Amino acid sequence: MWEWWQRNRPLLLGAVLLLMALLWYSINLRQQDETNFPERMVLILTGPVQAGLNQVIRGAADVWGHYLYLIDTEQENRALLENNRKLSAILAESNEVRLENERLRRLLDFKEAQEIATLPARVIAEDATSWFRTITIDKGSEQGVVEGMPVVVAEGVVGRIIRSSPRFARVLLITDASSAVASLLQDNRARGISRGKGERLVFDFVLRQEDVRVGDRVVTSGMGGVFPKGLIVGDVQSVDRQEFGLFQAIEVTPAVDFSHLEEVLVLLRRPQ
Amino acid sequence: MNRALIYFALAGVAAVLQTVLMPLLLQGDYKPNLVLLLVVYLGLHEGPWRGGLIVYLMGWFFDGVGGAFPGLNGFVMLAIFLAVRGIVTRVNTESSILLLLLVMAGTILQAFLFAFALDFFRQDISVSSQIAWQLPVQLLLNFVAAVVFLKLAVWLQRSFLPRRDLPGLRKLDRRYES
């Protein structure tokens, strides 16, 4: 027995360690809606670094995109190029300001149209892995942001707050596989659940007899207790009504372009 | 203790690169997993207890910047670490190709474990097909990142620490390979 234990000890201890880790993960699934101490510490520690680096990199990318690529032109055009570079930089800067202005104005119009108090925030980082869809924003519990609050832009729903530290928060995007949004079709009011599936969504539990067409708009139904009613989720991309089964298979293109998300609005309403 | 701090610092750098720099460079949802490289490295060069603890804590750290499930990254990273430990006595760890192969195998194992942990423990989530769809691109990205970072590590050691023998890195230098 002792010999057997000695021979298999590393394997058994490894298995025990792994089981304990799995058990811890399983237990944590029940308290998934709260930010635990290690997660809060990680957000506190990494948030400022991410915010700083994000600003530096975006600045450098702007310089690279609008300025530096002009350096390698011919010798005789150098003087002209110098002027051109300066003008390009000014133009790029003013373009950037104009675009930012447009985005913020859209957000502001949207904000004024909302009855719920809103808080604008900047996106400072994305998820560390390719498997999940989350972003980090530069507002946290000090500004009243808590877990479960909806996050939107003028185009539609972005996601909901899942972790919050005093100055930063993480948002689970609606395109993440673990996200589910109670939704309905704007035209015929058919209800269902929009689930994340990478770059698109699937609209589950819509009955076979419902008349669903490509291009139909999907909006939040307000039933889940997280998102207020009527926010745009996306548009129907494809409908597959199979011969058997209760429900249709519907794919939805999100209204929000998640690859160009820079500013968002947090709806300061606690989940019901 | 010092080595553990270096590992955590490297994990921190990897986390910031993956969350801020990579999304801007790659303009998409895909990004290489640099921490996986670190986990494989630890599997090859650290003992089971010390390495296991470091990797598990590293997983906790990563729960704060990746995914939405506390404990998931810890479980997956620990499993990869133990898998590498399990084969380390049976293979020639002085080959740089082995490290690259282990990163590829680690990517597949990671994808499988994520799918298992989410699909099996959360009945309302189904990620297997999505993960399977993403896996080839992820494999390619992790492979390229591993090659680049290993070359970079060897070059940095040669240039700035020629007399130091950082564990594992000397073995990756082609001058020492037979």
Q: Which sign does the torsion angle of CA A149, A153, A155, A158 carry?
A: negative
Q: What is the pTM of this model?
A: 0.81
pLDDT at position B58 is: 92
In a domain, A186, yes or no: yes
| Interface predicted TM-score (ipTM) | 0.83
Spatial separation of the C-alpha atoms in residues A3 and B150, rounded to whole Å: 41
pLDDT at position B63 is: 87
pLDDT at position A186 is: 87
Spatial separation of the C-alpha atoms in residues A120 and A116, rounded to whole Å: 13
Spatial separation of the C-alpha atoms in residues A233 and A156, rounded to whole Å: 6
Q: Which amino acid is at B50?
A: R
Q: What is the dihedral of CA B119, B125, B131, B134, to 10 degrees?
A: 180
pLDDT at position B177 is: 47
Spatial separation of the C-alpha atoms in residues A222 and A215, rounded to whole Å: 21
Spatial separation of the C-alpha atoms in residues B44 and B165, rounded to whole Å: 16
Could you tell me which residues are beta bridge partners of residue A202?
A195, A251
pLDDT at position A5 is: 80
Write the DSSP assignment of A111-142 as a string of letters.
Answer: HHH-SS-EEEEEEEEE-SSSS--EEEES--GG
Could you tell me which residues are beta bridge partners of residue A151?
A159, A266
pLDDT at position A99 is: 77
In a domain, A195, yes or no: yes
**Better-scored residue on pLDDT, A97 or B74:** B74
Contacts of A57 in chain B (CB under 8 A): 20-21, 24
Q: In terms of residue numbers, what domain contains A195? A: 180-256
Total of domains in chain A? 1
| Nearest chain B Cα distance for residue A113, angstroms | 31
CB contact under 8 A, B121 and A162: no
Q: Tell me what percent of the residues of chain B surpass a pLDDT of 90.
A: 32
Q: Which residue has the tokens 């101490």?
A: A37
Q: In terms of residue numbers, what domain contains B52? A: 2-176
- Give SS3 for B162: coil
pLDDT at position B175 is: 45
Token reading at B148: 């680049």
- Give SS3 for A230: coil
Which residue in the set B68, B71, B82 is minimally distant from A178, CB to CB?
A: B68
- Lowest-confidence region among A65-69, A166-170, A208-212: A65-69
Mean pLDDT (chain B) is 84
Q: Which amino acid is at A195?
A: R
Contacts of B16 in chain A (CB under 8 A): 46, 49-50, 53
Chain A 82-141, CB below 8 Å of chain B: which residues?
Answer: 124-134, 136
Which residue in the set A40, A128, A259 is minimally distant from B27, CB to CB?
A: A259
What string of H, E and C letters represents the secondary structure of A141-178? HHHCCCCCCEEEECCEEEEEEEEECCCCEEEEECCCCC
Q: Which residue has the tokens 């029940």?
A: A30
pLDDT at position A162 is: 92
Total of domains in chain B? 1
| Nearest chain A Cα distance for residue B170, angstroms | 28
Q: Tell me: the pLDDT tens digits for B64-113?
A: 888 888 889 999 999 999 999 888 878 777 777 888 899 999 999 999 99
- Give SS3 for A228: coil
For A234-263, what is the mean pLDDT? 88
Q: Which residue has the tokens 């560390």?
A: A128
Q: Would residue A215 be called left, alpha or beta, if left means φ above 0 and alpha means ψ between -120 and 50 degrees? A: left
In a domain, A167, yes or no: no
CB contact under 8 A, A177 and B117: no
Which residue in the set A13, A61, A131 is minimally distant from B114, CB to CB?
A: A131
pLDDT at position B169 is: 56
Q: Which residue has the tokens 């303009």?
A: B27
CB contact under 8 A, B65 and A61: no
pLDDT higher than 50, residue B173:
no
Q: A260: nearest CA in chain B?
A: B27
CA A20 to each of CA A26, A74, A208: distance values in angstroms, whole numbers, following the listed order: 10, 65, 44
Q: Tell me: the pLDDT tens digits for B135-172?
A: 999 999 999 998 998 888 878 877 877 766 655 555 54
- Residues A227 and A183 sit within 8 Å (Cβ to Cβ): no
Contacts of A134 in chain B (CB under 8 A): 66-68
Q: Tell me: the pLDDT tens digits for A113-164?
A: 667 788 999 999 999 888 899 999 999 999 999 999 999 998 899 999 999 9
Residue A75, phi then psi, degrees to nearest 5: -60, -45
Question: What is the crossing angle of helices B2-16 and A37-66, to 10°?
Answer: 50
- In this structure, the strands spanning A249-254 and A118-126 are unpaired
- Residues A133 and A173 sit within 8 Å (Cβ to Cβ): yes
Q: B132: nearest CA in chain A?
A: A131
pLDDT at position B165 is: 61
Question: What is the crossing angle of helices B96-121 and A2-28, to 10°?
Answer: 60
pLDDT at position B163 is: 66
CB contact under 8 A, B118 and A177: yes
In a domain, A187, yes or no: yes
CB contact under 8 A, A128 and B65: yes
Find all residues with CB under 8 Å of B40, minimum gap 6, and list them: B80, B84, B99, B102, B103, B106
For A232-237, what is the mean pLDDT? 93
Half-sphere exposure in the Cβ direction for B38 (13 Å, CA): 25
- Lowest-confidence region among A95-109, B43-57, B138-152: A95-109
Q: B30: nearest CA in chain A?
A: A130
Residue A236, phi then psi, degrees to nearest 5: -65, 130
- Residues B119 and B138 sit within 8 Å (Cβ to Cβ): no
Q: Tell me: the pLDDT tens digits for A36-91?
A: 788 888 888 888 888 888 888 777 777 776 666 555 555 566 777 777 766 666 66
Which residue in the set B64, B117, B130 is minimally distant from A177, CB to CB?
A: B130
pLDDT at position B178 is: 42
| Nearest chain A Cα distance for residue B14, angstroms | 9
Spatial separation of the C-alpha atoms in residues A8 and B86, rounded to whole Å: 12
Q: Tell me what percent of the residues of chain B surpass a pLDDT of 70.
A: 89
B35 — pLDDT class (breaks 50, 70, 90): very high
pLDDT at position A255 is: 92
In a domain, A3, yes or no: no
Q: A28: nearest CA in chain B?
A: B70
Q: What is the CATH number of the domain that holds A230?
A: 2.40.10.350
| Nearest chain B Cα distance for residue A214, angstroms | 23
CB contact under 8 A, A177 and B111: no
CB contact under 8 A, B20 and A124: yes
In a domain, A123, yes or no: no
Q: What is the CATH number of the domain that holds B30?
A: 1.10.1760
In a domain, A170, yes or no: no
Spatial separation of the C-alpha atoms in residues A93 and A179, rounded to whole Å: 37
CA B110 to each of CA A73, A130, A218, B86, B142: distance values in angstroms, whole numbers, following the listed order: 47, 12, 34, 16, 12
CB contact under 8 A, A18 and B82: yes
CA B79 to each of CA A8, A10, A22, A31, B131: distance values in angstroms, whole numbers, following the listed order: 17, 14, 10, 23, 18
Could you tell me which residues are beta bridge partners of residue A207?
A247
Contacts of B90 in chain A (CB under 8 A): none
Which residue in the set A14, A125, A130 is minimally distant from B20, CB to CB?
A: A125
